[in-house]
Structure 1
Amino acid sequence: MLAGRIDGFLAYLRGERGYSPSTVEHYAHGLARLAEYAEELGLARWSELEGDQVQSLLAREHRQRGYSPSTLRALASAWRSFFRWLAREGEVTTNPALGLRTPKLRRKLPQVLDADEMAQLVELPGDDAEAVRDRALLELLYSSGLRVSELCGVRWRDFDSDGAMLRVTGKGSKTRLVPVGSKARAALVALREQDRCGDDDPLVRGARGGPLTPNGVRARLKRRAQEQGVWKRVYPHLMRHSCASHLLESSGDLRSVQELLGHADIGTTQIYTHLDFQHLAKVYDSAHPRAKRKAG
Protein backbone atom coordinates (compact mmCIF):
# COMPACT_ATOMS: atom_id res chain seq x y z
CA MET A 1 0.00 0.00 0.00
CA LEU A 2 2.73 2.49 0.99
CA ALA A 3 5.03 1.68 -1.96
CA GLY A 4 2.11 1.68 -4.39
CA ARG A 5 1.28 5.29 -3.65
CA ILE A 6 4.92 6.24 -4.21
CA ASP A 7 4.76 4.61 -7.65
CA GLY A 8 1.67 6.68 -8.44
CA PHE A 9 3.39 9.89 -7.35
CA LEU A 10 6.49 9.17 -9.44
CA ALA A 11 4.28 8.48 -12.46
CA TYR A 12 2.63 11.86 -11.85
CA LEU A 13 6.04 13.58 -11.77
CA ARG A 14 7.06 11.95 -15.05
CA GLY A 15 3.78 12.34 -16.89
CA GLU A 16 2.05 15.51 -15.70
CA ARG A 17 4.99 17.50 -14.34
CA GLY A 18 7.53 16.45 -16.97
CA TYR A 19 10.35 15.92 -14.49
CA SER A 20 13.62 14.55 -15.85
CA PRO A 21 14.56 10.91 -15.17
CA SER A 22 17.39 11.97 -12.85
CA THR A 23 15.06 14.18 -10.77
CA VAL A 24 12.47 11.40 -10.51
CA GLU A 25 15.23 9.03 -9.42
CA HIS A 26 16.21 11.41 -6.61
CA TYR A 27 12.58 11.61 -5.47
CA ALA A 28 12.28 7.83 -5.60
CA HIS A 29 15.34 7.38 -3.40
CA GLY A 30 14.10 9.83 -0.75
CA LEU A 31 10.60 8.36 -0.69
CA ALA A 32 11.95 4.81 -0.43
CA ARG A 33 13.71 5.86 2.79
CA LEU A 34 10.44 7.32 4.06
CA ALA A 35 8.53 4.13 3.24
CA GLU A 36 11.13 1.96 4.99
CA TYR A 37 10.85 4.12 8.09
CA ALA A 38 7.04 4.00 8.07
CA GLU A 39 7.19 0.21 7.87
CA GLU A 40 9.64 0.14 10.82
CA LEU A 41 7.00 2.04 12.78
CA GLY A 42 4.37 -0.52 11.78
CA LEU A 43 2.25 1.96 9.85
CA ALA A 44 -0.17 0.72 7.21
CA ARG A 45 -1.29 4.05 5.74
CA TRP A 46 0.45 7.32 5.00
CA SER A 47 -2.19 9.19 6.96
CA GLU A 48 -0.82 7.61 10.15
CA LEU A 49 2.60 9.27 9.84
CA GLU A 50 3.07 12.29 12.10
CA GLY A 51 5.29 15.33 11.88
CA ASP A 52 7.57 14.47 14.81
CA GLN A 53 8.19 11.04 13.28
CA VAL A 54 9.22 12.58 9.95
CA GLN A 55 11.50 15.00 11.82
CA SER A 56 13.10 12.04 13.63
CA LEU A 57 13.82 10.35 10.31
CA LEU A 58 15.45 13.48 8.96
CA ALA A 59 17.64 13.73 12.07
CA ARG A 60 18.58 10.06 11.73
CA GLU A 61 19.57 10.51 8.08
CA HIS A 62 21.84 13.35 9.14
CA ARG A 63 23.32 11.47 12.11
CA GLN A 64 23.79 8.00 10.63
CA ARG A 65 24.38 8.70 6.96
CA GLY A 66 26.15 12.03 7.29
CA TYR A 67 23.89 13.74 4.76
CA SER A 68 24.79 17.34 3.99
CA PRO A 69 22.36 20.22 4.64
CA SER A 70 21.58 20.46 0.91
CA THR A 71 20.74 16.73 0.72
CA LEU A 72 18.52 16.97 3.81
CA ARG A 73 16.70 19.95 2.35
CA ALA A 74 16.15 18.00 -0.88
CA LEU A 75 14.73 15.07 1.11
CA ALA A 76 12.38 17.35 3.02
CA SER A 77 11.23 18.97 -0.23
CA ALA A 78 10.52 15.58 -1.81
CA TRP A 79 8.51 14.47 1.22
CA ARG A 80 6.49 17.69 1.29
CA SER A 81 5.66 17.36 -2.40
CA PHE A 82 4.61 13.74 -1.91
CA PHE A 83 2.19 14.58 0.90
CA ARG A 84 0.76 17.51 -1.07
CA TRP A 85 -0.02 15.05 -3.85
CA LEU A 86 -1.56 12.59 -1.35
CA ALA A 87 -3.75 15.42 -0.04
CA ARG A 88 -5.01 16.17 -3.55
CA GLU A 89 -5.72 12.46 -3.93
CA GLY A 90 -7.79 12.59 -0.74
CA GLU A 91 -5.55 10.19 1.20
CA VAL A 92 -4.26 12.54 3.89
CA THR A 93 -5.69 15.62 5.54
CA THR A 94 -2.44 17.08 6.88
CA ASN A 95 1.12 17.31 5.60
CA PRO A 96 3.49 15.95 8.28
CA ALA A 97 6.52 17.26 6.38
CA LEU A 98 5.42 20.90 6.38
CA GLY A 99 7.15 21.94 9.60
CA LEU A 100 10.40 20.09 9.07
CA ARG A 101 13.49 21.84 10.41
CA THR A 102 16.59 21.46 8.28
CA PRO A 103 20.16 22.66 8.86
CA LYS A 104 20.91 26.09 7.49
CA LEU A 105 22.35 25.84 4.01
CA ARG A 106 25.63 27.64 3.49
CA ARG A 107 25.50 28.78 -0.08
CA LYS A 108 28.78 28.48 -1.92
CA LEU A 109 29.63 31.08 -4.51
CA PRO A 110 30.01 29.45 -7.92
CA GLN A 111 33.43 29.37 -9.51
CA VAL A 112 33.87 31.31 -12.76
CA LEU A 113 36.47 31.90 -15.44
CA ASP A 114 37.44 35.51 -15.96
CA ALA A 115 37.09 37.07 -19.41
CA ASP A 116 40.71 36.38 -20.39
CA GLU A 117 40.52 32.73 -19.32
CA MET A 118 37.26 32.30 -21.21
CA ALA A 119 38.73 33.81 -24.39
CA GLN A 120 41.72 31.48 -24.06
CA LEU A 121 39.34 28.51 -23.77
CA VAL A 122 36.89 29.21 -26.58
CA GLU A 123 39.28 30.49 -29.25
CA LEU A 124 40.27 27.07 -30.54
CA PRO A 125 42.79 26.92 -33.39
CA GLY A 126 42.33 24.76 -36.46
CA ASP A 127 39.68 24.08 -39.09
CA ASP A 128 39.46 20.30 -38.85
CA ALA A 129 36.02 18.79 -38.27
CA GLU A 130 36.54 18.21 -34.55
CA ALA A 131 37.79 21.74 -33.95
CA VAL A 132 34.75 23.19 -35.78
CA ARG A 133 32.40 21.09 -33.62
CA ASP A 134 34.10 21.88 -30.34
CA ARG A 135 34.38 25.58 -31.14
CA ALA A 136 30.61 25.71 -31.70
CA LEU A 137 30.04 23.79 -28.46
CA LEU A 138 32.21 26.12 -26.37
CA GLU A 139 30.97 29.35 -27.95
CA LEU A 140 27.32 28.35 -27.50
CA LEU A 141 27.72 27.33 -23.85
CA TYR A 142 29.40 30.62 -23.02
CA SER A 143 27.17 32.76 -25.24
CA SER A 144 23.81 31.55 -23.99
CA GLY A 145 24.43 30.13 -20.53
CA LEU A 146 22.80 26.80 -21.28
CA ARG A 147 22.42 23.90 -18.88
CA VAL A 148 24.14 20.80 -20.24
CA SER A 149 20.76 19.02 -20.54
CA GLU A 150 19.43 21.92 -22.61
CA LEU A 151 22.44 21.85 -24.90
CA CYS A 152 22.11 18.11 -25.49
CA GLY A 153 18.41 18.45 -26.29
CA VAL A 154 18.46 21.15 -28.98
CA ARG A 155 18.17 20.41 -32.71
CA TRP A 156 18.87 22.53 -35.73
CA ARG A 157 15.20 23.41 -36.11
CA ASP A 158 15.51 25.24 -32.76
CA PHE A 159 18.22 27.58 -34.09
CA ASP A 160 17.18 30.77 -35.86
CA SER A 161 20.35 31.89 -37.58
CA ASP A 162 18.83 35.10 -38.96
CA GLY A 163 17.44 36.20 -35.63
CA ALA A 164 20.40 34.77 -33.68
CA MET A 165 18.07 33.01 -31.25
CA LEU A 166 17.85 29.48 -29.92
CA ARG A 167 14.79 27.74 -28.45
CA VAL A 168 15.70 25.48 -25.52
CA THR A 169 13.70 23.26 -23.18
CA GLY A 170 14.66 23.69 -19.55
CA LYS A 171 13.51 22.37 -16.20
CA GLY A 172 9.89 21.29 -16.00
CA SER A 173 9.77 21.07 -19.82
CA LYS A 174 9.55 24.87 -20.02
CA THR A 175 10.77 26.36 -23.29
CA ARG A 176 12.44 29.73 -23.66
CA LEU A 177 14.28 31.70 -26.33
CA VAL A 178 17.88 32.67 -25.65
CA PRO A 179 20.09 34.98 -27.69
CA VAL A 180 23.11 33.62 -29.52
CA GLY A 181 26.12 35.92 -29.71
CA SER A 182 27.84 36.73 -32.98
CA LYS A 183 30.85 34.48 -32.30
CA ALA A 184 28.61 31.56 -31.37
CA ARG A 185 26.34 32.19 -34.36
CA ALA A 186 29.32 32.16 -36.76
CA ALA A 187 30.62 28.94 -35.16
CA LEU A 188 27.21 27.28 -35.51
CA VAL A 189 26.84 28.37 -39.14
CA ALA A 190 30.27 26.89 -39.89
CA LEU A 191 29.31 23.67 -38.10
CA ARG A 192 26.10 23.28 -40.08
CA GLU A 193 27.86 23.89 -43.37
CA GLN A 194 30.50 21.33 -42.46
CA ASP A 195 28.17 18.58 -41.23
CA ARG A 196 25.34 19.33 -43.68
CA CYS A 197 22.76 18.87 -40.95
CA GLY A 198 19.01 18.64 -41.40
CA ASP A 199 16.46 20.37 -39.20
CA ASP A 200 15.84 17.24 -37.10
CA ASP A 201 19.53 16.54 -36.47
CA PRO A 202 21.02 17.27 -33.04
CA LEU A 203 22.77 20.61 -32.83
CA VAL A 204 25.73 18.97 -31.10
CA ARG A 205 26.39 15.42 -32.23
CA GLY A 206 28.38 12.59 -30.76
CA ALA A 207 30.68 10.21 -32.60
CA ARG A 208 27.81 8.13 -34.02
CA GLY A 209 25.69 11.05 -35.15
CA GLY A 210 23.25 11.01 -32.24
CA PRO A 211 22.95 13.76 -29.61
CA LEU A 212 26.09 14.31 -27.58
CA THR A 213 25.54 13.09 -24.02
CA PRO A 214 26.17 15.25 -20.92
CA ASN A 215 29.18 13.08 -20.10
CA GLY A 216 30.43 13.58 -23.64
CA VAL A 217 30.17 17.36 -23.21
CA ARG A 218 32.07 17.19 -19.92
CA ALA A 219 34.84 15.11 -21.47
CA ARG A 220 35.26 17.51 -24.39
CA LEU A 221 35.40 20.55 -22.09
CA LYS A 222 38.00 18.92 -19.87
CA ARG A 223 40.21 17.95 -22.80
CA ARG A 224 39.95 21.30 -24.55
CA ALA A 225 40.69 23.21 -21.32
CA GLN A 226 43.90 21.24 -20.85
CA GLU A 227 44.91 21.74 -24.48
CA GLN A 228 44.24 25.48 -24.25
CA GLY A 229 46.22 25.86 -21.04
CA VAL A 230 43.25 26.65 -18.77
CA TRP A 231 44.15 24.77 -15.62
CA LYS A 232 40.99 25.35 -13.64
CA ARG A 233 38.46 22.52 -13.59
CA VAL A 234 36.20 23.34 -16.54
CA TYR A 235 32.72 21.81 -16.71
CA PRO A 236 29.39 22.81 -18.34
CA HIS A 237 27.94 24.64 -15.36
CA LEU A 238 31.14 26.66 -15.01
CA MET A 239 30.46 28.01 -18.50
CA ARG A 240 26.92 28.91 -17.41
CA HIS A 241 28.17 30.60 -14.23
CA SER A 242 30.76 32.54 -16.18
CA CYS A 243 28.22 33.72 -18.76
CA ALA A 244 25.85 34.95 -16.04
CA SER A 245 28.57 36.61 -13.99
CA HIS A 246 30.09 38.45 -16.96
CA LEU A 247 26.67 39.65 -18.16
CA LEU A 248 25.67 40.90 -14.73
CA GLU A 249 29.01 42.58 -14.16
CA SER A 250 28.66 44.50 -17.43
CA SER A 251 24.93 45.27 -17.38
CA GLY A 252 23.70 45.06 -13.80
CA ASP A 253 20.38 43.84 -15.25
CA LEU A 254 19.38 41.03 -12.92
CA ARG A 255 15.98 40.39 -14.52
CA SER A 256 17.45 39.89 -17.98
CA VAL A 257 20.03 37.45 -16.65
CA GLN A 258 17.21 35.60 -14.87
CA GLU A 259 15.31 35.27 -18.15
CA LEU A 260 18.41 34.12 -20.01
CA LEU A 261 19.17 31.39 -17.48
CA GLY A 262 15.56 30.27 -17.11
CA HIS A 263 15.48 30.69 -13.33
CA ALA A 264 11.95 30.50 -11.91
CA ASP A 265 13.06 32.38 -8.77
CA ILE A 266 15.14 35.54 -9.05
CA GLY A 267 16.73 34.58 -5.74
CA THR A 268 18.64 31.88 -7.62
CA THR A 269 20.02 34.50 -9.98
CA GLN A 270 20.97 36.87 -7.17
CA ILE A 271 23.94 34.72 -6.19
CA TYR A 272 25.76 36.28 -9.13
CA THR A 273 25.43 39.69 -7.48
CA HIS A 274 27.62 38.34 -4.69
CA LEU A 275 30.29 37.52 -7.24
CA ASP A 276 30.06 41.05 -8.59
CA PHE A 277 30.32 42.57 -5.12
CA GLN A 278 33.26 40.29 -4.35
CA HIS A 279 35.05 41.67 -7.41
CA LEU A 280 34.12 45.22 -6.39
CA ALA A 281 35.52 44.67 -2.91
CA LYS A 282 38.87 43.53 -4.32
CA VAL A 283 39.05 46.57 -6.62
CA TYR A 284 38.11 48.88 -3.75
CA ASP A 285 40.69 47.41 -1.37
CA SER A 286 43.45 47.75 -3.93
CA ALA A 287 42.54 51.16 -5.37
CA HIS A 288 40.75 53.37 -2.83
CA PRO A 289 43.13 55.73 -1.00
CA ARG A 290 41.35 55.18 2.32
CA ALA A 291 41.23 51.41 1.94
CA LYS A 292 44.85 50.62 1.15
CA ARG A 293 46.64 48.68 3.84
CA LYS A 294 49.71 50.33 5.31
CA ALA A 295 52.96 48.52 4.76
CA GLY A 296 54.05 46.43 7.79
Structure 2
Amino acid sequence: MSLPEAMLDADAGQKDFVAELKTASLWGDAWKRFRRNKLALIGMGFITLLILTAIFADFIAPYSITERDSGQFRAPPSSDHWFGTDIIGRDVFSRIIYGSRVSLRIGIFSTVIAMIIGILVGSFAGFVGGKTEGFIMRLIDMMLSIPYIILAIAVATVFGRSENSVILVLGLTGWLAVARIVRSTFLQLKKMEYVEAAHALGFGRFRIMYRHILPNALQPIIVFGTIAIGSTILAEAALSFLGVGPQDPTPAWGLMVSQGKGDLANAPHLTLFPGLAIALTVLAFIFIGDGLRDALDPKMKDR
Protein backbone atom coordinates (compact mmCIF):
# COMPACT_ATOMS: atom_id res chain seq x y z
CA MET A 1 0.00 0.00 0.00
CA SER A 2 1.36 3.41 -0.96
CA LEU A 3 1.79 6.24 1.53
CA PRO A 4 -1.16 8.35 0.21
CA GLU A 5 -3.48 5.35 0.42
CA ALA A 6 -2.36 4.61 3.95
CA MET A 7 -2.97 8.24 4.91
CA LEU A 8 -6.47 8.11 3.43
CA ASP A 9 -7.28 4.89 5.32
CA ALA A 10 -6.01 6.40 8.56
CA ASP A 11 -8.03 9.54 7.98
CA ALA A 12 -11.20 7.51 7.28
CA GLY A 13 -10.63 5.42 10.41
CA GLN A 14 -10.17 8.56 12.48
CA LYS A 15 -13.42 10.03 11.14
CA ASP A 16 -15.31 6.82 11.97
CA PHE A 17 -13.86 6.87 15.49
CA VAL A 18 -14.88 10.51 15.99
CA ALA A 19 -18.38 9.75 14.68
CA GLU A 20 -18.72 6.85 17.12
CA LEU A 21 -17.59 9.08 19.99
CA LYS A 22 -20.14 11.74 19.03
CA THR A 23 -22.93 9.15 18.84
CA ALA A 24 -21.98 7.73 22.23
CA SER A 25 -21.86 11.25 23.66
CA LEU A 26 -25.31 12.10 22.28
CA TRP A 27 -26.89 8.96 23.75
CA GLY A 28 -25.03 9.52 27.00
CA ASP A 29 -26.36 13.07 27.27
CA ALA A 30 -29.86 11.82 26.43
CA TRP A 31 -29.68 9.22 29.19
CA LYS A 32 -28.56 11.88 31.70
CA ARG A 33 -31.51 14.10 30.76
CA PHE A 34 -33.87 11.12 30.93
CA ARG A 35 -32.69 10.25 34.45
CA ARG A 36 -33.53 13.76 35.62
CA ASN A 37 -37.19 13.14 34.74
CA LYS A 38 -38.59 11.46 37.85
CA LEU A 39 -41.91 10.53 36.26
CA ALA A 40 -40.11 8.88 33.34
CA LEU A 41 -38.03 6.81 35.76
CA ILE A 42 -41.15 5.81 37.68
CA GLY A 43 -42.79 4.79 34.40
CA MET A 44 -39.74 2.78 33.36
CA GLY A 45 -39.64 1.08 36.74
CA PHE A 46 -43.30 0.12 36.48
CA ILE A 47 -42.97 -1.23 32.94
CA THR A 48 -39.86 -3.19 33.93
CA LEU A 49 -41.81 -4.69 36.82
CA LEU A 50 -44.71 -5.47 34.48
CA ILE A 51 -42.41 -7.22 32.00
CA LEU A 52 -40.87 -9.31 34.77
CA THR A 53 -44.36 -10.12 36.02
CA ALA A 54 -45.39 -11.31 32.57
CA ILE A 55 -42.26 -13.44 32.21
CA PHE A 56 -42.54 -15.08 35.64
CA ALA A 57 -46.34 -15.17 35.84
CA ASP A 58 -46.30 -18.93 36.38
CA PHE A 59 -44.31 -18.44 39.59
CA ILE A 60 -46.07 -15.28 40.83
CA ALA A 61 -49.73 -16.13 40.30
CA PRO A 62 -51.09 -18.34 43.12
CA TYR A 63 -53.77 -19.87 40.86
CA SER A 64 -54.20 -20.70 37.19
CA ILE A 65 -56.45 -18.63 34.95
CA THR A 66 -59.19 -21.28 34.98
CA GLU A 67 -58.93 -22.60 38.55
CA ARG A 68 -62.13 -22.04 40.52
CA ASP A 69 -62.77 -21.75 44.24
CA SER A 70 -66.14 -23.37 44.84
CA GLY A 71 -68.38 -21.27 47.02
CA GLN A 72 -66.28 -18.11 46.49
CA PHE A 73 -68.26 -16.31 43.79
CA ARG A 74 -67.69 -12.53 43.57
CA ALA A 75 -65.85 -12.78 46.88
CA PRO A 76 -64.20 -9.52 48.06
CA PRO A 77 -60.42 -9.25 48.54
CA SER A 78 -59.07 -11.52 51.27
CA SER A 79 -55.88 -13.25 52.39
CA ASP A 80 -56.66 -16.19 50.07
CA HIS A 81 -57.67 -14.02 47.11
CA TRP A 82 -55.89 -10.67 47.25
CA PHE A 83 -58.08 -9.07 44.56
CA GLY A 84 -61.15 -11.21 45.24
CA THR A 85 -62.79 -13.70 42.86
CA ASP A 86 -64.88 -13.24 39.74
CA ILE A 87 -68.41 -14.37 38.94
CA ILE A 88 -67.40 -18.05 38.64
CA GLY A 89 -64.86 -18.16 41.47
CA ARG A 90 -61.59 -17.53 39.61
CA ASP A 91 -58.84 -15.56 41.35
CA VAL A 92 -58.78 -11.98 40.00
CA PHE A 93 -55.18 -11.33 41.06
CA SER A 94 -53.91 -14.36 39.15
CA ARG A 95 -55.87 -13.42 36.05
CA ILE A 96 -54.48 -9.87 36.14
CA ILE A 97 -50.95 -11.27 36.46
CA TYR A 98 -51.45 -13.51 33.42
CA GLY A 99 -53.29 -10.69 31.66
CA SER A 100 -50.06 -8.67 31.63
CA ARG A 101 -48.78 -11.15 29.04
CA VAL A 102 -51.78 -10.54 26.83
CA SER A 103 -51.58 -6.75 27.05
CA LEU A 104 -47.83 -6.54 26.48
CA ARG A 105 -47.92 -9.04 23.62
CA ILE A 106 -50.70 -7.19 21.82
CA GLY A 107 -49.25 -3.76 22.59
CA ILE A 108 -45.71 -4.54 21.43
CA PHE A 109 -46.51 -6.67 18.38
CA SER A 110 -49.21 -4.30 17.11
CA THR A 111 -46.89 -1.33 17.53
CA VAL A 112 -44.04 -3.11 15.73
CA ILE A 113 -46.32 -3.86 12.76
CA ALA A 114 -47.60 -0.28 12.72
CA MET A 115 -44.08 1.18 12.95
CA ILE A 116 -42.69 -0.95 10.13
CA ILE A 117 -45.52 -0.13 7.72
CA GLY A 118 -45.67 3.51 8.79
CA ILE A 119 -41.92 4.07 8.40
CA LEU A 120 -41.85 2.47 4.93
CA VAL A 121 -44.88 4.37 3.63
CA GLY A 122 -44.13 7.69 5.34
CA SER A 123 -40.47 7.79 4.34
CA PHE A 124 -41.32 7.01 0.72
CA ALA A 125 -44.04 9.67 0.59
CA GLY A 126 -41.88 12.32 2.25
CA PHE A 127 -38.80 11.61 0.14
CA VAL A 128 -40.47 11.29 -3.26
CA GLY A 129 -42.93 14.16 -2.86
CA GLY A 130 -45.08 15.46 -5.69
CA LYS A 131 -48.22 13.70 -6.89
CA THR A 132 -47.12 10.39 -5.37
CA GLU A 133 -46.97 11.96 -1.94
CA GLY A 134 -50.35 13.62 -2.47
CA PHE A 135 -51.97 10.34 -3.49
CA ILE A 136 -50.51 8.46 -0.50
CA MET A 137 -51.58 11.13 2.00
CA ARG A 138 -55.13 11.32 0.61
CA LEU A 139 -55.34 7.53 0.88
CA ILE A 140 -54.20 7.77 4.50
CA ASP A 141 -56.81 10.46 5.18
CA MET A 142 -59.51 8.21 3.76
CA MET A 143 -58.41 5.30 5.94
CA LEU A 144 -58.26 7.51 9.03
CA SER A 145 -61.91 8.38 8.46
CA ILE A 146 -62.88 4.72 9.00
CA PRO A 147 -63.35 3.91 12.73
CA TYR A 148 -61.06 1.07 13.75
CA ILE A 149 -63.98 -0.50 15.63
CA ILE A 150 -65.69 -1.26 12.31
CA LEU A 151 -62.49 -2.75 10.93
CA ALA A 152 -62.07 -4.77 14.12
CA ILE A 153 -65.52 -6.26 13.80
CA ALA A 154 -64.88 -7.12 10.15
CA VAL A 155 -61.54 -8.79 10.91
CA ALA A 156 -63.00 -10.64 13.92
CA THR A 157 -65.77 -11.97 11.70
CA VAL A 158 -63.25 -13.38 9.23
CA PHE A 159 -60.38 -14.51 11.48
CA GLY A 160 -62.19 -15.04 14.77
CA ARG A 161 -61.99 -13.21 18.05
CA SER A 162 -58.48 -13.79 19.32
CA GLU A 163 -55.24 -12.05 20.25
CA ASN A 164 -53.93 -12.41 16.70
CA SER A 165 -57.01 -10.69 15.30
CA VAL A 166 -56.56 -7.75 17.68
CA ILE A 167 -52.86 -7.49 16.80
CA LEU A 168 -53.75 -7.46 13.11
CA VAL A 169 -56.45 -4.82 13.53
CA LEU A 170 -54.40 -2.46 15.67
CA GLY A 171 -51.28 -2.94 13.56
CA LEU A 172 -53.10 -2.23 10.29
CA THR A 173 -54.75 0.90 11.67
CA GLY A 174 -51.92 2.25 13.83
CA TRP A 175 -49.47 2.75 10.97
CA LEU A 176 -51.49 5.64 9.56
CA ALA A 177 -50.43 8.06 12.30
CA VAL A 178 -46.84 6.81 12.09
CA ALA A 179 -46.73 7.46 8.35
CA ARG A 180 -47.86 11.05 8.80
CA ILE A 181 -45.15 11.73 11.39
CA VAL A 182 -42.39 10.09 9.33
CA ARG A 183 -43.50 11.86 6.18
CA SER A 184 -43.40 15.33 7.81
CA THR A 185 -39.96 14.58 9.28
CA PHE A 186 -38.59 13.43 5.91
CA LEU A 187 -39.94 16.57 4.23
CA GLN A 188 -37.79 18.65 6.58
CA LEU A 189 -34.67 16.51 6.54
CA LYS A 190 -34.44 15.91 2.79
CA LYS A 191 -33.58 19.60 2.35
CA MET A 192 -30.50 19.34 4.58
CA GLU A 193 -27.02 19.75 3.15
CA TYR A 194 -25.89 16.20 3.90
CA VAL A 195 -28.77 14.86 1.78
CA GLU A 196 -27.77 17.11 -1.10
CA ALA A 197 -24.20 15.88 -0.72
CA ALA A 198 -25.40 12.27 -0.84
CA HIS A 199 -27.26 13.03 -4.07
CA ALA A 200 -24.13 14.66 -5.51
CA LEU A 201 -22.08 11.56 -4.69
CA GLY A 202 -24.54 9.45 -6.68
CA PHE A 203 -25.97 7.42 -3.82
CA GLY A 204 -29.18 5.54 -4.54
CA ARG A 205 -32.62 6.60 -3.33
CA PHE A 206 -33.03 3.84 -0.77
CA ARG A 207 -29.56 4.34 0.65
CA ILE A 208 -30.24 8.04 1.18
CA MET A 209 -33.65 7.35 2.70
CA TYR A 210 -32.72 4.64 5.17
CA ARG A 211 -29.02 5.20 5.82
CA HIS A 212 -28.80 8.99 5.87
CA ILE A 213 -32.23 10.46 6.60
CA LEU A 214 -33.92 7.79 8.75
CA PRO A 215 -31.26 7.76 11.53
CA ASN A 216 -31.81 11.50 11.94
CA ALA A 217 -35.59 11.02 12.04
CA LEU A 218 -35.55 8.50 14.89
CA GLN A 219 -36.27 10.98 17.67
CA PRO A 220 -39.98 11.53 16.94
CA ILE A 221 -40.38 7.90 15.82
CA ILE A 222 -39.00 6.51 19.11
CA VAL A 223 -41.13 8.87 21.18
CA PHE A 224 -44.30 8.11 19.24
CA GLY A 225 -43.64 4.37 19.28
CA THR A 226 -43.27 4.33 23.06
CA ILE A 227 -46.51 6.21 23.63
CA ALA A 228 -48.21 4.11 20.93
CA ILE A 229 -47.65 0.92 22.95
CA GLY A 230 -49.72 2.38 25.78
CA SER A 231 -52.38 3.62 23.36
CA THR A 232 -52.53 0.19 21.75
CA ILE A 233 -53.02 -1.49 25.12
CA LEU A 234 -55.87 0.92 25.80
CA ALA A 235 -57.37 0.20 22.38
CA GLU A 236 -57.11 -3.55 23.02
CA ALA A 237 -58.94 -3.06 26.31
CA ALA A 238 -61.68 -1.18 24.47
CA LEU A 239 -62.04 -3.93 21.89
CA SER A 240 -62.11 -6.60 24.59
CA PHE A 241 -64.71 -4.58 26.49
CA LEU A 242 -66.89 -4.56 23.37
CA GLY A 243 -66.45 -8.31 22.93
CA VAL A 244 -64.35 -8.06 19.76
CA GLY A 245 -61.03 -8.96 21.38
CA PRO A 246 -59.80 -12.17 23.03
CA GLN A 247 -62.52 -14.38 24.47
CA ASP A 248 -62.89 -16.11 27.82
CA PRO A 249 -60.93 -17.75 29.45
CA THR A 250 -58.14 -15.51 28.07
CA PRO A 251 -57.40 -13.07 30.93
CA ALA A 252 -57.55 -9.85 28.90
CA TRP A 253 -57.90 -6.83 31.16
CA GLY A 254 -60.56 -5.18 29.02
CA LEU A 255 -62.57 -8.41 28.95
CA MET A 256 -62.37 -8.62 32.76
CA VAL A 257 -63.73 -5.08 33.05
CA SER A 258 -66.53 -5.99 30.64
CA GLN A 259 -67.43 -9.09 32.64
CA GLY A 260 -67.54 -7.15 35.89
CA LYS A 261 -69.48 -4.10 34.76
CA GLY A 262 -72.81 -5.71 35.62
CA ASP A 263 -71.73 -6.16 39.27
CA LEU A 264 -70.25 -2.71 39.78
CA ALA A 265 -72.47 -2.00 42.79
CA ASN A 266 -72.17 -5.42 44.47
CA ALA A 267 -68.60 -6.38 43.53
CA PRO A 268 -66.63 -3.27 42.47
CA HIS A 269 -63.32 -5.16 42.69
CA LEU A 270 -64.18 -6.96 39.45
CA THR A 271 -63.75 -3.73 37.48
CA LEU A 272 -61.52 -1.75 39.85
CA PHE A 273 -58.38 -3.89 39.73
CA PRO A 274 -58.20 -4.68 35.99
CA GLY A 275 -59.18 -1.08 35.23
CA LEU A 276 -56.39 0.13 37.51
CA ALA A 277 -53.92 -2.18 35.75
CA ILE A 278 -54.89 -0.68 32.39
CA ALA A 279 -54.65 2.90 33.66
CA LEU A 280 -51.26 2.45 35.35
CA THR A 281 -49.74 0.69 32.33
CA VAL A 282 -50.91 3.31 29.85
CA LEU A 283 -49.79 6.12 32.18
CA ALA A 284 -46.36 4.53 32.57
CA PHE A 285 -45.81 4.41 28.81
CA ILE A 286 -46.91 8.05 28.54
CA PHE A 287 -44.40 9.04 31.22
CA ILE A 288 -41.63 7.18 29.38
CA GLY A 289 -42.62 8.79 26.08
CA ASP A 290 -42.56 12.28 27.60
CA GLY A 291 -39.18 11.55 29.15
CA LEU A 292 -37.76 10.34 25.85
CA ARG A 293 -39.14 13.40 24.06
CA ASP A 294 -37.31 15.72 26.44
CA ALA A 295 -34.16 13.60 26.52
CA LEU A 296 -33.81 13.33 22.75
CA ASP A 297 -34.62 16.99 22.08
CA PRO A 298 -31.37 18.90 21.46
CA LYS A 299 -33.04 22.08 22.72
CA MET A 300 -33.29 20.49 26.18
CA LYS A 301 -29.54 19.90 26.41
CA ASP A 302 -28.80 22.84 28.72
CA ARG A 303 -31.88 22.41 30.91
Q: What TM-score range do you get, normalising by the shorter chain?
A: under 0.3
Higher helix residue share: 2
The TM-score, its normalising length taken from structure 2, stands at 0.23
Higher strand residue share: 1
The TM-score, its normalising length taken from structure 1, stands at 0.24
